[in-house]
Amino acid sequence: MRIVGGKYRGKVLEAPAGDATRPTSDRAREGLFNILEHGIPGFRLPEAHVADVFAGSGALGIEALSRGAASLVLIENDPTAKRCIRTNLNSLKTEDQDNCRILSANALSLPLAQRKMDLVMMDPPYHSELATPALQALAKAGWLHPKTLIVIETAKGDPDPEIDGFAMIKDRSYGVARFLFLQQAEAALPSRRRLARLKHSTDSSFFPIASSRRPIFS
């Protein structure tokens, strides 16, 4: 597993041993960050404050740092994964280590945020249905501002999480991995209108996260 872009491009990262974590593949990570850098109107990865939730090896968050993120919080509570994150962070430049923090916490019960995040990347175990309660915990603890971009990795074929008040602005798959890009509903409206002008409503780039029985706008 390697960093695929930015100043640490090519750096080898350790992955936790065992089956408790499932690192995002290099190909999927490259696709994700191509979208983050070029495919979200109004979002800038350089100088963004980033949280990596269910961090595992920390690869998603370290990739963001490599590409210019200003700070990184890695949220993980598995002891093996946390040791792996520390090893990977120790291989970075001192100034980047100083901008990183490992938060040992359950993603479903988070402490109050010290700072609101510009980007939250969330990679819960596939088929776990943990994305919805984790996003609710982030909102409750003050981690999100109105324009925070949220990326949830799920398995292709998993049902969409039902999250009132949020809208999906992109949906991309790479192999078995599927990335859902969300913002709070009002912030997502400009992206929704741009996509509507570019493509017909049959395009899957935007559609509500909530089921047909629940309105997307709360």
Q: Is 64 within the bounds of a domain?
A: yes
Assign residue 81 the CATH number of its domain.
3.40.50.150
Clarify whether residues 72 and 83 are in a common domain.
yes
Q: Is 69 within the bounds of a domain?
A: yes
* Residue 209 pLDDT exceeds 80: no
Clarify whether residues 189 and 146 are in a common domain.
no
pLDDT-based confidence at residue 211 (cuts at 50, 70, 90): very low
Report pLDDT digits (tens) over 54-88. Answer: 999 999 999 999 999 999 999 999 999 999 999 99
The structure tokens listed for 146 are 């109105």
* Residue 167 pLDDT exceeds 50: yes
The pLDDT assigned to 160 comes to 84
Residue 181 near residue 150 (C-beta atoms within 8 A): yes
Average pLDDT over residues 42-55: 96
The pLDDT assigned to 133 comes to 94
Residue 61 near residue 55 (C-beta atoms within 8 A): yes
* Residue 206 pLDDT exceeds 60: no
Q: Could you tell me what percent of the chain has a pLDDT over 70?
A: 83
Clarify whether residues 28 and 95 are in a common domain.
yes
The structure tokens listed for 60 are 């998603």
Ramachandran assignment for 78, one of left (phi > 0), alpha (psi -120 to 50 degrees), beta (any other): beta
Q: Is 38 within the bounds of a domain?
A: no
Q: Report the DSSP beta bridge partners of residue 150.
A: 120, 182
- The total domain count for the chain is 2
Clarify whether residues 143 and 166 are in a common domain.
no
Clarify whether residues 101 and 116 are in a common domain.
yes
The residue range of the domain holding 97 is: 1-15+23-32+45-124+139-153
Report pLDDT digits (tens) over 16-41. Answer: 876 556 678 889 999 999 999 999 99
Q: Is 40 within the bounds of a domain?
A: no
Q: Is 132 within the bounds of a domain?
A: no
Q: Is 56 within the bounds of a domain?
A: yes
* Residue 215 pLDDT exceeds 70: no
Q: Is 178 within the bounds of a domain?
A: no
pTM score over 0.75: yes
Clarify whether residues 114 and 7 are in a common domain.
yes
pLDDT-based confidence at residue 189 (cuts at 50, 70, 90): low
Average pLDDT over residues 160-167: 85
Q: Is 39 within the bounds of a domain?
A: no
- Locate tokens 């935007």: which residue? 206
* Residue 198 pLDDT exceeds 70: no
